[in-house]
């Protein structure tokens, strides 16, 4: 059963500083780009921006009522390990973000997390920086979105 691959990332100019989240969604079967999004996060840490990229991608998949498997690939070891349950979440702000992401997943998404090197996450990084450079949120849809 084909599914989706999500690459999510965050960018913060200063830590904390002006921040944005980015994500791309690919068709797992063909590798085709399905969606690209960027969301401004205001003044935030890079970790917060990375979680926001994940959350916005999950929200988009839920809006499509996606039931296919989803593999989330991120270069943030922190986010991957916390979302997988391997690492404890100590910071209160991070707890809220983890709780939000898990709540979206529990609405019916079948998600696995995978750490990837930074070079393998360049599309999501570019999406975050596009939002930050442009000073606005964006959502671009390509081809089939499951709706």
**Is 15's pLDDT higher than 90?**
no
- For the chain, give every domain's residue range: 4-60+75-141
Q: Give me the sign of the Cα torsion angle 99, 105, 111, 117.
A: negative
Burial environment of residue 135 by CB neighbours within 10 A (0 to 12, 13 to 18, 19 or more): exposed
Instruction: Give the CATH class of 4-60+75-141.
Output: alpha beta
Chain segment 72-104, per-residue pLDDT in tens: 999 999 999 999 999 999 988 899 999 999 999
Express each pLDDT in 42-56 by its tens digit. 999 999 999 999 999
What angle separates helix 46-63 from helix 77-84, to the nearest 10 degrees? 50
Given a cut of 60, whether residue 107 has pLDDT beyond it is: yes
């Amino acid at each position: 059963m084909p599914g989706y691959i999500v690459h999510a990332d965050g960018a913060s100019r200063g830590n904390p500083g002006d921040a944005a989240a980015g994500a791309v969604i690919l068709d797992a079967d063909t590798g085709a780009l399905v969606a690209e999004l960027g969301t401004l996060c205001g003044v935030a840490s890079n970790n917060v921006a990375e979680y926001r990229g994940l959350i916005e991608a999950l929200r988009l998949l839920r809006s499509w009522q996606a039931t296919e498997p989803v593999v989330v690939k991120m270069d943030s070891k922190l986010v991957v390990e916390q979302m997988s349950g391997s690492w404890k979440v100590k910071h209160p702000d991070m707890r809220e973000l983890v709780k939000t992401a898990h709540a979206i997943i529990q609405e019916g998404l079948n998600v696995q997390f995978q750490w990837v090197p930074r070079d393998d996450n360049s599309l999501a990084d570019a999406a975050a920086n596009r939002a930050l450079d442009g000073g606005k949120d964006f959502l671009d849809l390509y081809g089939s979105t499951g709706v």
